[in-house]
Amino acid sequence: MIGNDIVDLVQSRKDSNWRRRGFITKIFNENEQLLIANSYDPEIVVWLLWSMKEAAYKIWNRETGSRKYAPIALLCSFVERSCGSAVGEVICEENRYYTKTIVGPDFIHTTAVKVLDHLDHVVELKRCQVVKDPLGLPGIAMEGRRELLPVSISNHGRFEKIVAVF
Amino acid sequence: MNREELINALKPIIAPYTTNEEAFGKLSEETDFIHDLQINSANLVDIVLDIEEQFEIVIENADMERMLNVRAAIDIIETKLNEK
């Protein structure tokens, strides 16, 4: 299972005022708030953590069939961080998800997986490869396989990302 | 305020974050913020904060969890206003 989330930083600057009173405390737990406060570029850490939560939530949502708006209950931590990337974990209830994030000049893109090894087997796909199964879930057809390989699609602003574990 | 009045008070709060104008025109208690109005999930927190400011209430995390559609929003506002 895979989930991904793209943040277009040009779009997020137009649509969200993350410095607004209450915004940070409603979305981020104390540890995450410290990561943001102690960063030299808090805007990037805000959207980096947000995209980790969103990518992990997409797996949780698909696996449980449940929906909730509880970003603060998705607990993020970094395993490794540099200026252009981050590897981390997100805990949601009893589930642990592994994440890998690319921080570009004007975007942040996180992929989350359930199995750690899968992080090394993530491929990006094009829109034309995607079809829908009878339940409406997106996937790609594989030679010699009856079932579709599940994909995760994320759109924001100028960007669209489609990923699968291959 | 009754539920209809609450929906009317909610509309101007939701409007700036809505990207699907057609669904907004048909807004009812069934309307889903993300699926129908195509509101960006990062803006849902703005709606929660705007509701808190406008109605002078505090929305706890457990309530925010359910805040996915107009019905849940109205339920939460109604309950909080009655507690005042």
Interface check for A154 against chain B (CB to CB < 8 A): the answer is no
Q: What is the pLDDT of residue A136?
A: 81
pLDDT, mean over chain A: 95
* Residue from A30, A69, A74 whose CB has the most chain B CBs within 10 Å, to mutate: A69
Q: What is the pLDDT of residue B38?
A: 95
**Mean pLDDT calculated for residue range A83-97:** 96
Minimum Cα–Cα distance from A23: chain B residue: B45
Q: Which residues of B touch A20 (CB under 8 A)?
A: 46, 49
Q: What is the pLDDT of residue A146?
A: 86
CA distance A7 to A12: 7
Confidence of residue A10 (pLDDT cuts 50, 70, 90): very high
Neighbours of A117 (CB within 10 A): 9
Determine how β-strand A85-92 pairs with β-strand A95-103. antiparallel
Q: Strands across the sheet with A138-140, in order?
A: A131-132, A138-140, A149-150
List, for residues B23-70, the tens digit of each pLDDT value.
Answer: 999 999 999 999 999 999 999 999 999 999 999 999 999 999 999 999
Q: What is the pLDDT of residue A94?
A: 94
Which has more confidence, A92 or A132? A92
Q: What is the pLDDT of residue A137?
A: 82
Interface check for B44 against chain A (CB to CB < 8 A): the answer is yes
List, for residues A107-138, the tens digit of each pLDDT value.
Answer: 999 999 999 999 999 999 998 889 988 888 88
ipTM of the complex in this document: 0.94
Confidence of residue A147 (pLDDT cuts 50, 70, 90): confident
**Mean pLDDT calculated for residue range A55-68:** 95
Neighbours of A127 (CB within 10 A): 9
Does residue A114 contact residue A1 with C-beta atoms inside 8 Å?
yes
Q: Is the pLDDT of residue A18 over 90?
A: yes
What is the pTM for the complete model shown? 0.95
Q: What is the pLDDT of residue A54?
A: 98
Q: What is the pLDDT of residue A80?
A: 96
Query: A69: distance to nearest CA of chain B, Å?
Result: 4
Over B25-74, what HEC string results?
HCCCCCCECCCCCCCCHHHHHHHHHHHHHHHCCCCCHHHHCCCCEHHHHH
Neighbours of A112 (CB within 10 A): 32
Q: Is the pLDDT of residue A87 over 90?
A: yes
